[in-house]
Structure 1
Amino acid sequence: MATTPHVMLACESLALAGGVERFVCGLANAFSRQGMQVSVATAAPLPADWPYPLDEAVTRLGGLPGKSGRLDGVAGHESHGQILVTQWRIGRTIARLACEARPDVLILNGLTTAASVLLADRSLAPRTICCDHNHFDARSRPWRWLRARLYPRVAAVVSLTEADAARFRALNPRTEVIPNASALSAEGPSLPRDPRVLAVGRLVAQKGMDLLLAAWPQVLASVPGARLRIVGDGPLRAGLHAQAAALGITGSVEWVAHSERMADQYRAAAVFVLPSRYEGMPLALLEAQAMGVPSVAFDCPTGPAEVLSADTGLLVPPGDTAALARSVVELLVDPARRQTMAEAALARHRAMFSAERQVARWTALVRSVASRTHGRGLEVAA
């Protein structure tokens, strides 16, 4: 086997500023800097503007315009039949790109994408690594049924959390636990005095920004000068703006669709909040910890409890907006506690969630899969 395998990372779209897209671009760059031949493949047309930078050496492969339903990344009001047709196109497009590029290792990101690609061409399975990027039960029953039948065939599976690892290993014993990691880092916390609270995430139901807005009036009642900044965009934007107006909190909420200077966003925050209904291994929470920002998060099924410890942030019962508000207030009114948590967060990031640690584990897995599959041909399914 060549010492520098060709690895392809694939996902539905690279036009979004989301966690999966950030992961794909970051890992592709890391592999490229090690001298590997790297390509990224998307079922959607290649975007004119990339939310996350890609090294020039990384090959970009995209689907054809007008060929794939909602591949702009924003789901419309589609019937179940239309969704199935769209997913089939996604699978066929990425499978075709993989067969043309002939990588030694194919990394499929997201359950729906992985299942669609493997259904389109099962010959890809022996050189494929699947990573769902969400907790085990996040998708509907049909997708879980497909995973149970397709994942045992693939070369390896990556679980982002220890909490889900046993369930993935029951499907495929070649399961590795590789947590996400932050590409951001800081030498020390910034410890801003302004009571600014930061949330980062796509404006979709999963991320729970509606729950954070519902909690915000209670925060303002205790800390009138508090300000909330939400960085992210998505299909629920108009509804969330309307919710803020109905709650009378518009003047204290700032909306930022996308920021190319995320380190500055974290350093300006006294507290970070993750109000998600469910997660895999949340990158935004990891970034906040890496930048030394005390955090408050719902203790959803997987993710936050593995990122935070009692000395780096506060976990509250899922969906409990009153508890969320109380915890945010606790930190906003206690600068000394915030400083202690900020320093502990930096130490925890360096010990457990550094980008170097993540890349080393992914590299070892890719080389292992490549050594087992090198020389096998790829054929487009009939």
Structure 2
Amino acid sequence: MSRPVRVLLLCDRLDIAGGVERFVCMLANHLAGEGLDVAVGSVATPRSAVRYPLAPAVRVLAGTAALPQDESRSRVGRAWQLLRTQWHIGRALSRLIRDDQPDVVLLNGLTTACSVLLFSGRFAPRMVCCDHNHFAARSRLWQRLRERLYPRVAAVVSLTQADAPRFRAINPRTEVIYNCSALQAGAPALPAQPIVLAVGRHVAQKGFDLLLRAWVDVVRRVPDACLRVVGDGPLRAGHEALAVQLGVAGSVEWLAPTLAIEGLYREAAVFVLPSRYEGMPLALLEAQALGVPAVAFDCPTGPAEILSDDTGRLVAAGDVPALAAALVELLASPPLRASMGRAAIERSRAVFSPDEHARRWTALLREVGVKQAYGPAVAA
């Protein structure tokens, strides 16, 4: 081979603190270290605004026009705005593909992938799709588009075993590659203070409204408990107002996203994931890798494959009283938290190895890229 394989990793934007954005930057850095020619691309994020660190060797591609702003409050208006936004995304990211001419493209997110494929279907044989959420997270429109478009791509990655059969029915070349945590610890910190940590964007998916309703019961039973919520997003002001309405504002801390998140995990007695739905949540993986016992809703995919009975508690999806009871149980028992913390680190190393995660992504993208650049015989 006369040149490195050219890889382009695409998502809508790279200037926000989210799991997909963090994944893209982490993977880009690893691939560049493996000698591939790597670029990350978004609609309008310049290098100076990328939220997570990037190696100097990683190129940053961006369009020039920001995403349209949602100004409509009607249901029809919001639907039209969504379609307009996705048309804008598809056109902008497709232009990056045409200009950069990569050997392999990783499309992150169902709506992003479908929008790009509608504009750049001729590049489908060099594309890999990863939805980053559970199979049925989006509306039927997007699921139907996936059924039509994903059979054309080189490969699909499912983040969970639970969803793999449904992806495989659309595209037989489906691989399961678990997410992993870039944060690691040799032993749990075991803090004594009853601090509960939640991390995520302030959007409906993350269920912070449900957590606040559960927190009413938690502070009634553990009066010195503190809830720290780390994240930004459109619903933050509403969540702060809800905490006031419920009478728990004095026990809740609202923190902005930070690159120094490891310290917050290490200060937490318990991690909580109250999401309505997930793919393979990075925040829960990080908590486990750092030895923080966790409580999570058993939403359609993700938490059930991460947690075990000896590393945390799964409660029925949306069951607010059960979420509160599980938090109280862990806060009330330092010995239980210590046992769970040690088991969490062991499970993280055994099942969610960063080395295995990086090896499998590198192998898949290199295989597709080599096949496009040099032909099937060289890839084999």
- If the length of structure 2 is used for normalisation, what is the TM-score? 0.95
Q: How far apart in 1 are the matches of 2:285 and 2:300?
A: 16
Could you say which residue in structure 2 is the equivalent of 1:111?
Answer: 110
> Residue 126 of structure 1 aligns to which amino acid in structure 2?
P
Q: How far apart in 2 are the matches of 1:136 and 1:204?
A: 19
Q: How far apart in 2 are the matches of 1:152 and 1:196?
A: 46
Deviation readout 1:318-337 (Å, 9 max, x if unpaired): 00110000000100010001
CA contact under 8 A between 1:15 and 1:47: conserved in structure 2? no
- Percent of aligned positions that are identical: 59
SS at 1:163 equivalent: coil
Could you say which residue in structure 2 is the equivalent of 1:155?
Answer: 154
SS at 1:97 equivalent: helix
- Trace 1:213-228 onto structure 2 (pairs within 5 A): 213-228=212-227
Q: Residue 375 of structure 1: CA displacement?
A: 5.1
SS at 2:49 equivalent: coil
Q: How far apart in 1 are the matches of 2:2 and 2:191?
A: 50
Could you say which residue in structure 2 is the equivalent of 1:167?
Answer: 166
Q: Which moved more, 1:361-370 or 1:225-234?
A: 361-370
Could you say which residue in structure 1 is the equivalent of 2:16?
Answer: 16
CA contact under 8 A between 1:193 and 1:270: conserved in structure 2? yes
Could you say which residue in structure 2 is the equivalent of 1:311?
Answer: 310
> Residue 321 of structure 2 aligns to which amino acid in structure 1?
A
SS at 1:246 equivalent: helix
> Residue 235 of structure 2 aligns to which amino acid in structure 1?
L
Superposition RMSD in Å: 1.4
> Residue 124 of structure 2 aligns to which amino acid in structure 1?
A
Q: How far apart in 2 are the matches of 1:307 and 1:44?
A: 34
Could you say which residue in structure 2 is the equivalent of 1:379?
Answer: none
Q: How far apart in 2 are the matches of 1:199 and 1:124?
A: 39
- Trace 1:283-362 onto structure 2 (pairs within 5 A): 283-362=282-361
SS at 2:197 equivalent: strand
2:269 is aligned with 1:243:
no
Deviation readout 1:111-156 (Å, 9 max, x if unpaired): 0000000001101100000000000000000000000000000000
Could you say which residue in structure 2 is the equivalent of 1:79?
Answer: 78
Q: Residue 357 of structure 1: CA displacement?
A: 1.1
* Matched residue count: 372
Could you say which residue in structure 2 is the equivalent of 1:54?
Answer: 54
CA contact under 8 A between 1:192 and 1:269: conserved in structure 2? yes
Q: How far apart in 2 are the matches of 1:2 and 1:207?
A: 46
2:30 is aligned with 1:30:
yes
SS at 2:163 equivalent: helix
- Trace 1:97-246 onto structure 2 (pairs within 5 A): 97-246=96-245
Deviation readout 1:33-68 (Å, 9 max, x if unpaired): 1111100000123264332111111000111135x3
CA contact under 8 A between 1:291 and 1:346: conserved in structure 2? yes
Q: Residue 75 of structure 1: CA displacement?
A: 8.6
> Residue 46 of structure 1 aligns to which amino acid in structure 2?
P
SS at 2:107 equivalent: strand
Could you say which residue in structure 1 is the equivalent of 2:373?
Answer: 374
Q: How far apart in 2 are the matches of 1:215 and 1:76?
A: 32
Instruction: Point out where structure 2 has 5 or more consecutive residues left out of the alignment.
Output: 376-380
Deviation readout 1:269-293 (Å, 9 max, x if unpaired): 0000000000000000000000000
Q: How far apart in 2 are the matches of 1:353 and 1:176?
A: 15
Could you say which residue in structure 1 is the equivalent of 2:39?
Answer: 39
Deviation readout 1:9-38 (Å, 9 max, x if unpaired): 000000110011011001001101111110
SS at 2:263 equivalent: helix
Deviation readout 1:94-119 (Å, 9 max, x if unpaired): 11101111111100000000000000
CA contact under 8 A between 1:12 and 1:43: conserved in structure 2? yes
CA contact under 8 A between 2:197 and 2:227: conserved in structure 1? yes
CA contact under 8 A between 1:148 and 1:171: conserved in structure 2? yes
> Residue 338 of structure 2 aligns to which amino acid in structure 1?
Q
CA contact under 8 A between 1:45 and 1:65: conserved in structure 2? no
Q: Which moved more, 1:92-101 or 1:286-295?
A: 92-101
Q: How far apart in 2 are the matches of 1:197 and 1:130?
A: 35
SS at 2:68 equivalent: coil
CA contact under 8 A between 2:285 and 2:306: conserved in structure 1? yes
Q: How far apart in 2 are the matches of 1:55 and 1:341?
A: 35
Deviation readout 1:323-370 (Å, 9 max, x if unpaired): 000000100010001000000000001111121110001011112212
SS at 2:296 equivalent: strand
Q: Which moved more, 1:291-300 or 1:38-47?
A: 38-47
Q: Residue 80 of structure 1: CA displacement?
A: 2.2
Could you say which residue in structure 1 is the equivalent of 2:256?
Answer: 257
Q: 1:94 to 1:182 in 2, by over 3 A?
A: same
Q: How far apart in 1 are the matches of 2:214 and 2:225?
A: 13
Q: How far apart in 2 are the matches of 1:339 and 1:45?
A: 42
Q: 1:182 to 1:76 in 2, by over 3 A?
A: farther
Q: How far apart in 2 are the matches of 1:110 and 1:200?
A: 20
Q: How far apart in 2 are the matches of 1:92 and 1:124?
A: 14
Q: Which moved more, 1:367-376 or 1:96-105?
A: 367-376
CA contact under 8 A between 2:72 and 2:78: conserved in structure 1? no
SS at 2:191 equivalent: coil
> Residue 35 of structure 1 aligns to which amino acid in structure 2?
G
